[in-house]
Each structure stands twice: as C-alpha cells, then as structure tokens.
Amino acid sequence: MSADVFVIDHPLVQHKLTLLRRKETSTNSFRRLLTELSMLLAYEVTRDMPMHEVEIETPLEPMRSRLIDGKKTVFVSILRAGAGILDGMLQVIPGARIAHIGLYRDPKTLVAVEYYFKVPAGMEGRDAIVVDPMLATGNSAVAAVDRLKETRPRSIRFVCLLAAPEGLAHFRAAHPDVPVYTAAIDRQLDAHGYILPGLGDAGDRLFGTK
C-alpha cells in the first residue's frame, strides 16, 4: 500500500516558512527559524508514535499515565543540510538517537554519491525519521532511504521543509511505503536541480558558506 504525503499547513509553520524563504533573512535568523520549524514538524511526524503506560503518583493520588520511548527514535540526517533540522527535533525528543548519511550531488549528473554512513546499533527496534530540508530531484532522499533500509528499521518516515513535484514523484515511486511530511510542495525544479520558488541553497544559507 502507498504511504501518504502530509503537507503541514499549520499557520505557525507557514508563517515561519515565509520568513525563512526571504532572500534578506540572515544566516542567524535562518538557523533560528529552521530550528523552530523543525520543532513544529517533529510534533506532526510523531503524532502516532508508540506509547506505554507507567504507574506514577501526582501530589494527590496514584495514576497510570503514558510515556514515549524516545531512545527508539532515530533522526537520520542527510548531510549537510539535514543537520539544520536536528537541533529543533532534539528539543522535542531529547533522547532520540542520531544517524548520519553523507551524500553529495554530482553537479553534472545530479546523482547522489555516498561518502559517509553511520547509524546506531539495533536499528531493527527503532523508528527512523529521515530529515533533509529540501526534497529536490529526490536522488539523495531515494539513495539515503535505499541505504537505510539495509539496516531494517522498524519504520521509516521522511521529513523535509520543501518538496518539488518531480522529487516527490521520484521518491514515492522508489519508496511508496515511506510517508513524506513537508511544509510545502513548490512549483518545479530549475535546470540545476534547485526548487522554485524555493529558498535557495539550504546548506549555504544555514552555514553561511556563500
């Protein structure tokens, strides 16, 4: 069965996304907004995460109440721009584990080439949330999830800020079982694989490298 695409249309998400997209937004503000957006996206992507009941005592009486097991969650950051999403997500689930997948886009072919892969042990018992701000051609996302599936996590979700229709179609064709969470689906890709209207190069804007 094909998993869903969730567009997070919440006013707070859309407001912050507008500020983030603007070309005059400074590196400092870009980072802060990306962290805030990541917290809001974390809230949506974890909406149905597993819970267990524990016995606690309030100041007035005992009760049974619910907890998540944060350690079972793994945020899988696609380097380098995925790193910008980790801070916000970790503020919401501080116990989560982190995986890194290093991929660069060959500038000529736009094909994703792997240069780093490190995930926690015991992925079979964990829920993976792959994070990358931009789902553009989909090549990196498809390659990252291909590789991640070799570790057999209990579940996989993909979270981005912006998706291009072309990248979304590519990803869904390759991984129809992986739900996608995004703040917006933009118009199209340009000839260099950038999302239009987009927000420019997420890594450069995040790290101030341009």
The catalytic site residues sit at 105, 109, 201, 204
Q: Is 87 left (phi over 0), alpha (psi -120 to 50) or beta?
A: alpha
Least distance from C-beta 78 to ligand URA, angstroms?
A: 10
Contacts of ligand URA in 127-156 (CB under 6 A): 134, 136
Asked if residue 3 lies in contact with residue 179, where contact means CB atoms within 8 angstroms, the answer is yes
Least distance from C-beta 190 to ligand URA, angstroms?
A: 8
Residue 54, judged by CB atoms within 10 A of its CB (0-12, 13-18, 19+), counts as exposed
**Binding residue count for ligand URA, defined by CB under 6 A:** 10
The rounded distance, in Å, linking the Cα atoms of 1 and 140 is 23
Site stretch for ligand URA (CB under 6 A), options 36-44, 145-153, 173-181, 196-204: 196-204
Question: Pairing state of beta strands 5-7 and 184-185?
Answer: unpaired
The rounded distance, in Å, linking the Cα atoms of 55 and 138 is 45
Least distance from C-beta 141 to ligand URA, angstroms?
A: 11
Determine which residue in the list 76, 130, 178, 202 makes contact with ligand URA, applying CB under 6 A. 202
Least distance from C-beta 206 to ligand URA, angstroms?
A: 9
178 binds ligand URA (CB under 6 A): no
165 binds ligand URA (CB under 6 A): no
Task: Tell me the CA distances in angstroms from 132 to 3, 17, 54, 76, 104, one per residue in order.
Answer: 19, 15, 34, 9, 13
Asked if residue 139 lies in contact with residue 170, where contact means CB atoms within 8 angstroms, the answer is yes
Q: Which two tokens stand for residue 120?
A: 């926690």
Q: Which is nearer to ligand URA, 8 or 81 (CB)?
A: 81
Q: Which is nearer to ligand URA, 179 or 198 (CB)?
A: 198
Contact pattern from residue 77 through residue 116 relative to ligand URA, giving x for each residue in contact according to CB under 6 A and a dash for the rest: ----x-----------------------------------
Q: Which two tokens stand for residue 199?
A: 């927000």
Task: Provide the binding-site residues for ligand URA, judged by CB under 6 A.
Answer: 81, 134, 136, 193-195, 198, 201-203
